[in-house]
């Protein structure tokens, strides 16, 4: 409520509730029959706007219907519109807000339509943008302009702007009860009807009674710390609406997508089968009326676009496909800006180990423990030794371990290329709903099984520091060198450079490739996962690349623990003074029985 304290003086006009009439009727009293939405937007008395396209009108038809007096009774409560940039989303938002207000103003007492509020409560129409500039300068300036030029409104009410009364032609004399008060980010209408323009950084919307709410560019919502908060804003405003108005309320989510599976696309997937929710994905050119574009259309990779957009697509194809065609990349600000390089580094080799999952529930526990055990292996005779990198999680994050080796290829001029190969990956996936958590003991157990029973030559094992102490102790006790690795932003960038250079060969694991493509760039240039995504596999990859990178190995400090150096080149298995896992081969890479 504190956020709206500055408006308290305005609300004093209505502190005693709605003005009392001489009648005692309790049913809806229509002072005027409202026109349809189509007439509202085109009539010179109202919006005086050109006719919408069929796609735009279908939104109003679904949410409002063709009977204005019954528009709050059709139970159609949500529209999620994934529309391209420039498709008229702000215009649609503005007109829907004003039409809701218009229909309410056609009533003597609008509160009688709704069971959840009394006649002393406000009825709010709320537009929430992704930042203050979008809310106050872009959207609300357009909104205020429409109000100031609204002929029907000016014929019935005085306009009060910054304390001054305008509209001298109006015959209304009772300014106190019939004034429209225009403020910097709100407009107060008669009968306790309010319109607000807010933004996602505010987050808390307590104290509002939102009958109609619009989340504009939902996929871009962030809080004050620049963390994505679309879900939090949606929950706050929609629950406020539901507790006051139930399914009589109207909610609109409008945005173009920023990346695959972003908040808007997740919402579309969630409500696509709800008969009282409308979900729609369309390009700018499918939504906006054709007459708004140039007459000549051209083909761009099989898609018809207006010719005056062609240069945008040619100069910035990925961004243009995202903004205008609603075909987003895997990440909004991708860490891997050349995703094709990730596809190129995928190797079509089989994994060295095939595993199976087992679960058990301890007698004294409430959680189900997820374990893994080796089902079969393809380990043959090899001169290599292998590094295992891991990222351990319990109930929220996944546990991932990956195996690696290095091959040195002599090329022309006596130069040597060092290639890093991924040999296996094993994952433990917790499930909160089913109360499944990772059995951390199964991680060292499966590594010890590789080493002892499958004669897998392990040069060392390294984990991140989370949940790794017991694993490291158990592995060291079994004679396997194990340690904690420390990774930095620079390691993110170095690993990316190695992958781009073609020196890293990853297994064909679709989940892994997708995770890497969905990584986003942090403010300091590193890599991080998006909300509801993961970076566990990436951690095991960059740890391996860090170890095998020449500068770090030469300086003997590739992998460190709190106690100093644990794994370095001096700990690799040796044969006659030559380091195993890094031999030289002429004419190509060594292939043994398990490749």
Report residue 595's pLDDT band, with 50, 70 and 90 as the boundaries.
very low
Q: What is the pLDDT of residue 351?
A: 94
Q: What is the mean pLDDT of the chain?
A: 83
pLDDT of 79 higher than 80: yes
Query: Which CATH number covers residue 150?
Result: 3.40.50
Q: Are residues 480 and 378 in the same domain?
A: yes
From residue 59, alpha-carbon distances to 95, 120, 281, 290, 450 in Å are 12, 32, 12, 18, 59
Asked whether residue 45 is domain-assigned, the answer is yes
User: How far is it, in rounded angstroms, from Cα 306 to Cα 84?
Assistant: 14
Q: Are residues 306 and 433 in the same domain?
A: no
pLDDT digits (tens, 9 = 90+) for 388-441: 999 998 877 889 999 999 998 888 777 888 999 999 999 999 988 888 999 989
Asked whether residue 228 is domain-assigned, the answer is yes
Asked whether residue 356 is domain-assigned, the answer is yes
pLDDT digits (tens, 9 = 90+) for 80-90: 999 999 998 88
What integer is the mean pLDDT of 177-201? 88
What integer is the mean pLDDT of 109-119? 88
User: How far is it, in rounded angstroms, from Cα 180 to Cα 166?
Assistant: 10
Asked whether residue 574 is domain-assigned, the answer is no
Q: Are residues 524 and 454 in the same domain?
A: yes
Bridge-based pairing of strands 353-360 and 368-377 is antiparallel
Q: Which residues contact 398 (CB under 8 A, 6 or more apart)?
A: 391, 427, 428, 429, 430, 438, 534, 536
Report residue 377's pLDDT band, with 50, 70 and 90 as the boundaries.
very high
Q: 3-class DSSP state for residue 48?
A: coil
Asked whether residue 588 is domain-assigned, the answer is no
pLDDT digits (tens, 9 = 90+) for 571-588: 333 333 332 333 333 333
Query: Which CATH number covers residue 454?
Result: 3.30.420.240
Q: 3-class DSSP state for residue 421?
A: strand
Per the structure block, which two tokens stand in for 366? 């409430």
What integer is the mean pLDDT of 461-488? 90
Q: Are residues 268 and 229 in the same domain?
A: yes
Report residue 172's pLDDT band, with 50, 70 and 90 as the boundaries.
low
DSSP element (H, E) containing 443 = helix 442-453
pLDDT of 568 higher than 80: no
User: How far is it, in rounded angstroms, from Cα 140 to Cα 177?
Assistant: 24
- Give percent of the chain with pLDDT exceeding 90: 53
Which of 329, 354, 377 terminates a domain? The answer is 329
Report residue 508's pLDDT band, with 50, 70 and 90 as the boundaries.
very high
Per the structure block, which two tokens stand in for 449? 């099984």
C-alpha 411, offset from chain centre: 45
Q: Are residues 314 and 346 in the same domain?
A: no
What integer is the mean pLDDT of 127-140? 81
Q: Are residues 545 and 484 in the same domain?
A: yes
Report residue 592's pLDDT band, with 50, 70 and 90 as the boundaries.
very low
Q: What is the pLDDT of residue 175?
A: 45
pLDDT of 467 higher than 50: yes
- Give percent of the chain with pLDDT exceeding 70: 85
pLDDT of 96 higher than 80: yes
Asked whether residue 213 is domain-assigned, the answer is yes
Structural domain boundaries, residue 107: 2-17+29-290
Q: Are residues 196 and 95 in the same domain?
A: yes
Q: Are residues 366 and 414 in the same domain?
A: yes
Q: Which residues contact 578 (CB under 8 A, 6 or more apart)?
A: none
588 vs 531, which has greater pLDDT?
Answer: 531
Angle (CA) 44 50 51, round 5°: 110
Q: How many domains does the chain have?
A: 3
Q: How many helices and strands (H and E) does the chain possess?
A: 20, 29
Q: Which residues contact 570 (CB under 8 A, 6 or more apart)?
A: 556
Q: Are residues 242 and 279 in the same domain?
A: yes
Asked whether residue 579 is domain-assigned, the answer is no
Q: What is the pLDDT of residue 594?
A: 27
pLDDT of 64 higher than 50: yes
Per the structure block, which two tokens stand in for 58? 């279908």
Asked whether residue 513 is domain-assigned, the answer is yes
DSSP codes joined into one string, 323-375? HHH----SSSSBS-S-HHHHHHTEE----SEEEEEEEE--TT-SSEEEEEEEE
Q: Are residues 253 and 276 in the same domain?
A: yes
Q: Are residues 309 and 367 in the same domain?
A: no
From residue 154, alpha-carbon distances to 92, 150, 151, 177, 422 in Å are 22, 6, 5, 14, 72
């Amino acid at each position: 409520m504190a956020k709206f304290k500055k408006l308290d003086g305005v609300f004093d006009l209505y502190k005693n509730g709605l003005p009392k009439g001489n009648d005692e009727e309790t049913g809806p009293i229509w002072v005027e029959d409202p026109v349809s939405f189509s007439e509202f937007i085109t009539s010179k008395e109202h919006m005086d706007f050109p006719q919408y396209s069929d796609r735009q009108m279908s939104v109003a038809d679904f949410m409002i219907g063709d009977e204005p007096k019954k528009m709050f009774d059709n139970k159609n409560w949500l529209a999620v519109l994934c529309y391209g940039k420039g498709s008229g989303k702000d215009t649609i938002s503005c007109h829907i807000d004003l039409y809701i207000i218009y229909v309410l103003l056609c009533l003597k007492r609008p509160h009688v339509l709704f069971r959840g509020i009394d006649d002393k409560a406000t009825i709010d129409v709320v537009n929430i943008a992704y930042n203050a500039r979008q809310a106050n300068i872009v959207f609300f300036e357009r909104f205020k302009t429409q109000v100031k030029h609204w002929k029907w409104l000016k014929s019935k009410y005085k306009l009060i702007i910054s304390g001054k009364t305008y509209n001298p032609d109006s015959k209304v004399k009772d300014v106190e009860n019939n004034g429209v008060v225009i403020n910097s980010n709100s407009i107060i209408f008669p009968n306790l009807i309010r319109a607000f323009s807010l933004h996602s950084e505010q987050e808390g919307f307590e104290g509002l009674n939102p009958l109609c709410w619009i989340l504009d560019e939902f996929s871009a919502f962030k809080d004050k710390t620049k963390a994505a908060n679309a879900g939090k804003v949606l929950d706050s405003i929609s629950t406020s609406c539901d507790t006051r108005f139930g399914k009589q309320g109207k909610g609109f989510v409008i945005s173009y997508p920023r990346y695959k599976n972003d908040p808007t696309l997740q919402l579309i997937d969630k409500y696509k089968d709800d008969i009282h929710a409308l979900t729609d994905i369309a390009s700018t050119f499918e939504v906006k009326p054709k007459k708004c574009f140039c007459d000549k259309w051209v083909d761009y990779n099989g898609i018809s676009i207006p010719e005056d957009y062609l240069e945008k697509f040619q100069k910035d194809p990925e961004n243009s496909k995202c903004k205008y065609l609603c075909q987003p990349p895997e990440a909004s600000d991708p860490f891997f800006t050349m995703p094709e390089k990730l596809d190129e580094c995928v190797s079509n080799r089989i994994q060295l180990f095939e595993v199976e999952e087992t679960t058990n529930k301890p007698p004294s526990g409430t959680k189900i423990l997820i374990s893994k055990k080796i089902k079969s292996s393809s380990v043959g005779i090899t001169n290599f030794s292998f590094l295992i990198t891991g990222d351990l999680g319990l109930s929220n994050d996944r546990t991932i371990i990956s195996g690696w080796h290095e091959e040195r290829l002599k090329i022309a001029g006596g130069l040597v290329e060092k290639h890093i190969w991924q040999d296996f990956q094993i994952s433990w996936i917790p499930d909160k709903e089913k109360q499944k958590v990772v059995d951390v003991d199964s991680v060292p157990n499966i590594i010890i099984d590789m080493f002892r029973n499958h004669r897998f030559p392990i040069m060392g094992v390294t984990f991140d520091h989370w949940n790794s102490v017991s694993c490291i102790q158990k592995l060291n006790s079994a004679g396997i060198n194990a340690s904690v690795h420390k990774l930095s932003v620079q390691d993110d960038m170095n690993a990316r450079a190695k992958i781009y250079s073609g020196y890293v060969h990853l297994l064909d694991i679709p989940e892994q490739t997708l995770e890497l493509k969905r990584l986003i760039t942090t403010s300091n240039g590193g890599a991080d996962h998006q909300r509801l995504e993961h970076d566990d596999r990436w951690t095991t990859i960059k740890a391996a690349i860090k170890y095998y990178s020449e500068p770090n190995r030469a300086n003997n400090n590739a992998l460190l623990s709190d106690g100093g150096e644990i794994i370095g080149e001096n700990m690799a298995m040796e044969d006659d003074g030559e380091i195993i896992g890094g031999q030289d081969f002429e004419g190509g890479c060594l292939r043994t029985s398990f490749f």
